[in-house]
């Protein structure tokens, strides 16, 4: 008697829109992230121009405006302001990645690339997750180069290595959170040009009505609570604490985020990711149906 071995039946291929496992979703996200990273490598101008603006801000605020901005307890010491400034420049740089995420997703929508992804048996959220991961890697590279430039103009990290790593981690987490806002904007407009404008127009008041460039006590009283409860401010102040860049004799305002900036920054970033990732994925699924 002979026994015929039966070949195992192949696993069914999931159809577009089917529920997939976390492992499959992660793998799909990494494939999309790799695609976007390869695209960035082939267009290095994206990273180069992404560095120009923060470097210009460092030079302008340090050497042009720095002498006219007084920090409490520091007098006219431009070196103290330069260290105070860098936390704000770092945070502004990571949040401005929002515009790139908006424009990139809007461009893929316009060219029909997103429609091709929709027809594939892959997790729906993987397209957006992969894109935001790729933007996070690009932001990390820009942040690294900017830190090297800051060291050249006199900025120093005066706390331990662990605190410095934690500071950069909070900055990148905020940048990642804001890319989800950019993803939602990119899915909501029709052209990359509109996405770029939509990704930047709200960032300027958010970053300037904060403690990024001047202490909140230097602002009009009506703007002080806005600046102190601004999620951007919490990350800026947390970075200053962890890098050891607080002004001499600094006293934090009474607002809770200013008293606990690292925890406030972490909570704000998690909240932004939870809210805007949900909205962006829902928007993507609705557009795909």
| pLDDT tens for each residue of the chain, 289 residues long | 444 445 444 444 455 455 567 788 888 888 888 888 888 778 777 777 777 877 887 777 777 766 666 666 555 555 677 788 889 999 998 998 888 888 888 887 777 777 777 777 777 778 888 889 988 998 998 899 889 888 888 888 888 899 999 999 999 999 999 999 999 998 888 888 888 888 788 888 899 899 988 888 888 999 999 999 999 999 999 999 999 988 777 788 889 999 999 999 999 999 999 999 999 988 887 765 5
Domain span at residue 26? 22-66+73-288
Q: What is the pLDDT of residue 250?
A: 79
Beta bridge mates, 71: 75
Does residue 196 belong to any structural domain of this protein? yes
Q: What is the pLDDT of residue 68?
A: 64
Overall residue count recorded for the chain in this entry: 289
What beta strand segments (E) does 52-138 contain? none
pTM recorded for the entire structure? 0.85
Q: What is the pLDDT of residue 189?
A: 85
Does residue 123 belong to any structural domain of this protein? yes
* Contact present, 174 and 134 (Cβ < 8 Å): no
CA atoms within 13 Å, Cβ hemisphere of 220: 3
Does residue 161 belong to any structural domain of this protein? yes
* Contact present, 235 and 91 (Cβ < 8 Å): yes
Number of domains, the chain: 1
Does residue 213 belong to any structural domain of this protein? yes
Residue 273: closest CA among 181, 198, 184: 181
Residue 279 CB burial class (10 angstroms; 0-12, 13-18, ≥19): middle
Does residue 16 belong to any structural domain of this protein? no
Query: Residue with structure tokens 């960032």?
Result: 203
CA pair distance 238, 210, nearest whole angstrom: 13
CA pair distance 65, 55, nearest whole angstrom: 14
Does residue 15 belong to any structural domain of this protein? no
- The number of angstroms, rounded, from the C-alpha of 74 to the middle of its chain's C-alpha atoms is 31
Does residue 14 belong to any structural domain of this protein? no
Does residue 129 belong to any structural domain of this protein? yes
């Amino acid at each position: 008697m002979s026994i015929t071995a039966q070949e195992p039946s192949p696993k069914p291929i999931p159809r577009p829109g089917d529920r997939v496992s976390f492992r499959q979703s992660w793998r799909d996200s990494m494939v999309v992230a790799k695609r976007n990273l390869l695209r960035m490598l082939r267009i290095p101008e994206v990273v180069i121009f992404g560095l120009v603006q923060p470097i210009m801000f460092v030079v302008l605020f340090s050497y042009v405006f720095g002498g006219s901005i007084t920090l409490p307890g520091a007098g006219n010491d431009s070196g103290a302001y330069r260290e105070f400034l860098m936390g704000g420049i770092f945070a502004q740089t990571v949040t401005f990645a929002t515009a790139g995420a908006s424009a990139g997703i809007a461009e893929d929508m316009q060219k029909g690339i997103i429609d091709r992804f929709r027809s594939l048996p892959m997790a729906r959220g993987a397209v957006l997750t992969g894109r935001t991961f790729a933007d996070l890697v690009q932001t990390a590279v820009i942040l690294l180069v900017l830190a090297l430039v800051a060291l050249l103009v006199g900025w120093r990290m005066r706390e331990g290595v662990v605190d410095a790593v934690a500071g950069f981690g909070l900055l990148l987490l905020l940048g990642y959170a804001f890319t989800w806002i950019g993803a939602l904007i990119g899915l909501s407009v029709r052209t990359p040009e509109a996405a770029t404008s939509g990704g930047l127009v709200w960032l300027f008041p958010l970053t300037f009505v904060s403690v990024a460039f001047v202490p909140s006590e230097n602002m009009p009283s009506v703007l002080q609570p806005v600046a102190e409860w601004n999620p951007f401010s919490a990350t800026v102040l947390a970075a200053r604490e962890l890098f050891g860049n607080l002004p001499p004799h600094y006293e934090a305002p009474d607002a809770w985020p200013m008293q606990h900036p690292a925890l406030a920054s972490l909570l704000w970033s998690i909240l932004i990711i939870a809210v805007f990732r949900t909205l962006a994925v829902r928007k993507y699924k609705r557009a795909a149906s």
